């Protein structure tokens, strides 16, 4: 999926990210997945997408730098399931170097998406079929 829209609201603390399915030919697919996120996360994602860097590293910048400094990289992120009206995500990391070992970190979807878009090019964002079936 790709981040297709960020809806920022001045009157509501909940901001909206819209993810759009990518078809096999690279065009937009039929399904769109809206997800509510907090102001800070939406702002961080917007800054990453527009290239508007903060004067000092913010939380997602720091986390990206720490992952890289420890010899790993973000492979992709997956919004994996929905439980009690809460989405769960995983950030999948791959160790750089010869072994390329992989691991997964439990994450809020907003933080996972923020990490994905803080890379250039952005890392892939996946949403499980079970989640898409529930919300589309």
Nearest to 127 by CA among 24, 21, 41: 21
pLDDT at 136: 76
pLDDT in tens, 94-107: 999 888 999 999 99
- Stated as kind and residue range, the H or E segment containing 67 is helix 59-69
122 pLDDT higher than 90: yes
Write out 74-126 in H/E/C secondary structure.
Answer: EEEEEEEEEECCEEEEEEEEEECCCCCCEEEEEECHHHHHHHHHCCCCCCCEE
Nearest to 40 by CA among 113, 120, 122, 110: 110
- Stated as kind and residue range, the H or E segment containing 20 is strand 15-22
pTM as predicted: 0.93
Q: Residue 68 corresponds to which tokens in the numbers above?
A: 């890289």
31 pLDDT higher than 90: yes
Q: Give the CATH H-level superfamily of domain 2-135.
A: Bifunctional nuclease domain (3.10.690.10)
- The pLDDT mean for the chain works out to 95
Nearest to 15 by CA among 126, 116, 109, 134: 109
Q: Grade residue 82 by pLDDT with cuts at 50, 70 and 90.
A: very high
pLDDT in tens, 66-80: 999 999 999 999 999
Q: What is the residue extent of each domain of the chain?
A: 2-135
CA atoms within 13 A on the CB side of 103: 9
pLDDT at 13: 85
What is the signed CA dihedral for 133, 115, 91, 84, rounded to 10 degrees?
-50
pLDDT at 42: 96
């Amino acid at each position: 999926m790709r981040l297709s829209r960020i809806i920022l609201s001045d009157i509501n603390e909940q901001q909206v990210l819209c993810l759009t399915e990518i078809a096999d030919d690279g065009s937009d697919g039929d399904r769109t997945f809206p997800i509510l996120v907090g102001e800070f996360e939406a702002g961080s994602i917007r800054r990453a997408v527009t290239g508007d860097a903060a004067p000092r590293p913010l939380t997602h910048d720091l986390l990206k730098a720490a992952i890289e400094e420890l010899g790993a990289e973000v492979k992709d992120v997956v919004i994996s399931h929905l439980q009690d009206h809460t989405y769960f995500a995983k950030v999948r990391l791959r160790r750089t170097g010869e072994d390329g070992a992989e691991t997964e970190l439990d994450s809020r979807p907003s933080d996972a998406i923020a990490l994905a878009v803080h890379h250039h090019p952005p890392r892939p964002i996946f949403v499980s079929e079970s989640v898409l079936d529930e919300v589309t």
